Structure 1
Amino acid sequence: MTQINRRHFLKAAGVAAAAGVVAGCAQSNSNSALSSSPKGKSVIGLVVPKMDVVRVAFIGVGQRGYGHVKRMSHIEGAEIVAICDTHNEVLERSAKFLTDKGLQKPALYGTGELAYKEMLEREDIDIVIISTPWKWHAPMAIDTMESGKHAFVEVPLALTVEEMWQIVDTAECTQKNCMMMENVNYGRDELMVLNMVRQGLFGELLHGEAAYIHELRWQMKELEHKTGSWRTEWHTRRDGNLYPTHGLGPVSQYMNINRGDRFDYLTSMSSPALGRAAYAQREFPKTHQRNQWNYICGDMNTTMIKTVNGRSIVVQHDTTTPRPYSRHNLIQGTNGVFAGFPNRIALEQGGRGSFHDWDENMDYWYGKYDHPLWVKMGEEAERNGGHGGMDFLMFWRMIYCLRNGEPLDQDVYDGAAWSVISPLSAQSVANRSESVSIPDFTRGHWQTAKPLGIVGA
């Protein structure tokens, strides 16, 4: 496929995904969707040449991206050289923030949807942070890597099985990093639990639970700009788990997914889709567009994943119903369990009481198992913010690895495996919850890949 034809194909694929054609995200279990011949070398454990200064560019600085600009500006060894956004107001806002801090004004790109391609032609960019609507993640990540730069993409990595494979293939062909920025992996609690798991506190792992339960109906009132202006429509296009990675990322790292185990298959079902329509009727005029749409995404989606090693994972998605925020963050082993929201622990051996009762005194466990990375950087992370510090710590760690010639904590295979749950859950829901095989994006290398270690920096 020629470069031009490939880009036309990606653009068409993005439009099709955005149009929500059910057939596009509920494909058959064909071999082509489940496997692919390698087109390059595996990037598991990829190490790139050390960078004294990491030159950073941004695509998308509306809500999430603007916060990324602010946090990156505080990191030693990172230099912001260019920013792209189609909305001039937010483009200038980011530039002003940097110049007000006494930093050099970055080059700005904002003429048309493809302005980012002009920015990618620059030779003074090492990495690109992509914080755009979902349909742009795959084409922008691929174009970034093909331009010789490393791609760091907001969640989800992509929207279809085909896009996941295209991103994996491009990473392997170019030998460039493509990391999906799952910030929750850098939360204090998630890091602590990873440390507990690595030290064997829970015994042999059996089961995990993950979720994104976050009432976001208010975003439906964001009509021209901001997240709700494009994300709301996905509730009319896909009935499945629209956003699986926040809870699933940490549980996957606990279980060494793609590093000794991998996802095998899933089954999924959704509740009725009632909440969005009811909210629209209550909050908008009868003739408003929000009242003309047919909301099909079940208010609660529950997906169960089986791993090759026999473990089970429950993943839930609900951004509609009125209930407290939760990511579940539960990990069960032969010796006990940790559960989040609220944090609590029960152990048969090594606990501070009977495993029939929850121990909710987390100060004791933080004192014993706080992750060394949080011990070292936690105060600075909390000071610079971003979901309690996890955003800053994620960026700090990314820059650290690039400057010190170390592999990143998350790779393209992680992003693809965690993100592909969305289209595959929709396929299962559409077919009476039939089981659906999950592609092995590592092409077998998961069997020899080393688990993520407990790093101190």
Structure 2
Amino acid sequence: MHDARPEQHDDESRHQGAPDGAEPFGTPDEAGPSRRSVLRTAGTAGAGLGLAGLGAFGASGTAAAAPAPGGAADTAAAPKRRGTTMIGVPFEGRSTVRVGIVGLGNRGGSMIDLFLAVPNTRVVAVCDPVKEKTAKAAKKVTDAGQPAPAVYAKGDRDFENLCKRGDIDFVYVASPWDWHFEMAKTALLNGKHVGVECPIALRLDQLWELVDLSEYTRKHCLQLENCCYGRNEMRVLRMAHAGLFGELLHGAGAYNHDLRGLMFDPDYYEGPWRRLWHTRLRGDLYPNHGFGPVANYMDVNRGDRAVRISSFGTPARGLAAYREEHMPAGDPSWKETYIESDRTISLVQTAKGRVIRLEHDVSTPHPYSRINSLGGTKGVFEDYPERIYIEPDHSNDEWGDFGAYAEWDHWLWKEHANPPGGHGGMDYMLVFRLTQCLHLGLVPDFDVYDAATWTSPVPLSDLSIKAHGKPMEIPDFTRGDWQKARPGMDSEKPKA
């Protein structure tokens, strides 16, 4: 009933390594640079964009994308607003949704199938530095009966040329994390709506810049969080909003997934970019899959707000132990020093006093789990395995059958009972709903403020761990608009 647990959720373009030519990430306590200007004109998007030192899109060498979080750039203070809110702003309706895809590895190479499967959508352009991948993607497009897409495979920065096209409505980014911020920024500055795989950026100043650019350009910048569209997640969402759990008090989410073998497999990621992040940060590198659904349950940014986070991390032992057992002498990984906590546990407090627990662990042996729990004054739901206990339905300290609550399934799951694609259908649901909103001119289910909030634990958990669990303030990316109730993931089926 739930998603296919063994599958990857974060396997973005596997060929692409960390950008080369950058300065080393520095010591764990190194301060970041000051925040750079947000406003750029679209005409400058092709030259001088992004962070100094970001280099090869497809390099597999060692280098880091950006300085460590910390310093003035990573304070919680909001910069002066340069646009107007994107809350409640609909897409422009269009008969055909024209999509450009950047990154065609594991994630992008599979998601293109879903963009080709949904109605009223055309894949106009594809981009990847590995020409074999663009050729394979282009063939998928023509095999689906669509015109041949434009191909961008001339080096690491050809995505800039894709973003300049006048016949693209939405740019989908599935590159390594190091490139997410710059690619999203480039798309916005070229007047495109953009959706990015997790995490959308890795520093608070980058998150603020994407918020400001979305508001200034009037284009949506979305964290494409597929787990928000899981069947269990959407059922719990509707039950929570209907009051079945009473007043909501606590929730938990995680990304606990043993990735040791994949991170040391050169044929999977085609470079060490994913593993290298374990040499740069100590905190929760991947909070979105757990945080997003729970934030939706609690209407975070829609009547409540995530206010602060305290994080704690274990020693970093798992990757080094795996390397000792499995990697030959002379392998490049032996030059790496891992500092990322094997398990990070964070507590997020909301403005209403609720508590959200987040966990991250990809370095030790254990079964896959996103935890996905929610509790209130009338009962609790816990996933992995799924079980429920709510009054008056259950008693005697015995868990109930969550399957008995199928009537609470979201309309998307009632309309698409057996969706195609990976992760139990949640990927298809995300693409179907996204392109539906673009086609019909609807407000998206989540926005740039959600993207920034769900990603903020990446830098903030790192800072908190370094400060021995000291609470770190989570910025109010909505600049006060979180106090207004508004729709979100619990949408109504469109009449059109």
Give the TM-score category using the shorter length: over 0.9
For 1:24, the equivalent position in structure 2 comes to 68
Question: Are 1:322 and 2:362 an aligned pair?
Answer: no
* Among 387, 394, 405, the residue aligned to 1:365: 405
- Report deviation, 1:410: 1.1
Amino acid at match of 1:235: H
What is residue 339 of structure 1 aligned with on the other side?
382
Q: Determine the C-alpha separation between the residues in 1 that align with 2:127 and 2:462.
A: 33
- 1:34 to partner: Cα distance: 2.5
Contact kept in structure 2, 1:53 and 1:403, CA below 8 Å: yes
Instruction: Map 1:260-299; keep pairs closer than 5 Å.
Output: 260-299=303-342
Query: Which residues of structure 2 form unaligned runs of 5+?
Result: 1-36, 56-61
Question: Cα offset for 1:119?
Answer: 1.3
Residue 450 of structure 1 aligns with which residue? 486
Equivalent position of 1:163 in the other structure: 206
**Who is 1:151 aligned against?**
194
CA distance in 1, matches of 2:309, 2:383: 23
Equivalent pair of 2:104/2:127 in contact (CA under 8 Å):
yes
Report the CA distance shift for 1:374/1:280 in structure 2 as closer, same or farther (over 3 A): same
1:376 paired to 2:415: yes
CA distance in structure 1 between the aligned counterparts of 2:230 and 2:63, rounded to whole angstroms: 31
CA deviation after TM superposition for structure 1 residue 436, in Å: 0.4
Alignment of 1:103-122 (within 5 A): 103-122=146-165
Larger helix percent: 1
Structure 2 counterpart of 1:59, one-letter code:
V
Tell which deviates more after alignment, 34-43 or 159-168: 34-43
Classify 1:227/1:408 alpha carbon distance in 2 versus 1 (closer, same or farther; 3 Å): farther
Supply the distance in 2 between the matched residues of 1:442 and 1:206 (Cα, whole angstroms).
23
> In the alignment, residue 238 of structure 1 is paired with which amino acid?
L
Alpha-carbon distance between aligned partners in 2 of 1:275 and 1:419, rounded to the nearest angstrom: 24
Instruction: State the alpha-carbon separation in 2 of the partners of residues 9 and 221 from structure 1.
Output: 32
How do 1:251-262 and structure 2 match up within 5 A?
Answer: 251-262=294-305
Distance 1:5 1:394 in 2: 29
Deviates more, 1:184-193 or 1:95-104: 95-104
Deviation at 1:224, TM superposition (A): 6.5
Measured at CA, do residues 213 and 225 of structure 1 come closer, stay the same or move farther in structure 2, by a change above 3 Å? closer
| In structure 1, distance between residues paired with 2:451 and 2:296 | 12
Give the Cα–Cα distance (whole angstroms) in 2 for the partners of residues 201 and 52 of structure 1.
39
Residue deviations 1:335-358 (CA, integer Å, cap 9, x gap): 000000000001122x1x316221
| Aligned partner letter, 1:437 | E
The one-letter amino acid paired with 1:369 is W
Shift of 1:330: 0.4
Tell me what 2:280 maps to.
237
**Paired residue secondary structure (1:378):** coil
Q: Distance in 1 between matches of 2:112 and 2:294?
A: 28
Deviations 1:406-456 (A, max 9, x none): 100010000100001110000001111111000000000111141423423
* CA–CA distance in structure 2, aligned partners of residues 27 and 300 of structure 1: 25
1:405 — aligned with what? 441
Q: Structure 1 segments of 4 or more deviating over 6 A?
A: none
CA distance in 2, matches of 1:373, 1:76: 15
Size of the aligned set, in residue pairs, is 447
Q: Are 1:354 and 2:390 matched, yes or no?
A: no
Tell me, in whole angstroms, the C-alpha distance in 2 between the residues paired with 1:279 and 1:397: 40
Asked if the contact 1:300/1:316 (under 8 Å) is kept, the reply is yes
1:313 CA drift (Å): 0.5
Taking a change above 3 Å as real, the CA distance of residues 61 and 229 of structure 1, as seen in their structure-2 partners, is same
Assess if the C-alpha contact under 8 Å between 1:7 and 1:139 holds in 2. no
Query: Match of 2:22?
Result: none
Give the TM-score of the pair, scaled to structure 1. 0.94
Equivalent residues of 1:128, 1:150 under 8 A apart: yes
Contact kept in structure 2, 1:60 and 1:131, CA below 8 Å: yes
Please name the residue that 1:433 is paired with.
Answer: 469
Equivalent residue number for residue 135 of structure 1: 178
Q: Residues 54 and 403 (structure 1 numbering): CA distance in 2 closer, same or farther, change over 3 Å?
A: same
1:7-156 matches, within 5 Å, as: 8=48, 10-12=50-52, 19=64, 24-27=68-71, 33-156=76-199
Q: 1:244, 1:422 within 8 Å by CA — same for their partners in 2? A: yes
The farther-off stretch of 389-398 and 443-452 is 443-452
Q: Take 2:238 and 2:474, find their aligned partners in 1: how far apart are those partners?
A: 28
Amino acid in the other structure paired with 2:395: S
Tell me the CA shift for residue 14 of structure 1.
5.3
Question: What is the alpha-carbon distance in structure 2 between the residues aligned to residue 269 and residue 178 of structure 1?
Answer: 30
TM (norm. structure 2) is 0.86
Q: CA RMSD in A?
A: 2.0
Q: How many angstroms does 1:287 deviate by?
A: 2.1
Provide the rounded CA distance (Å) in 2 between the counterparts of 1:356 and 1:14.
55
**Cα displacement string for residues 89-133 of structure 1 (whole angstroms, at most 9, x for unaligned residues):** 111111122223332211100111110111122111110100001
Amino acid at match of 2:476: D
- Counterpart of 1:417 in structure 2 is 453
Q: Does structure 2 conserve the Cα–Cα contact (< 8 Å) formed by 1:303 and 1:314? A: yes
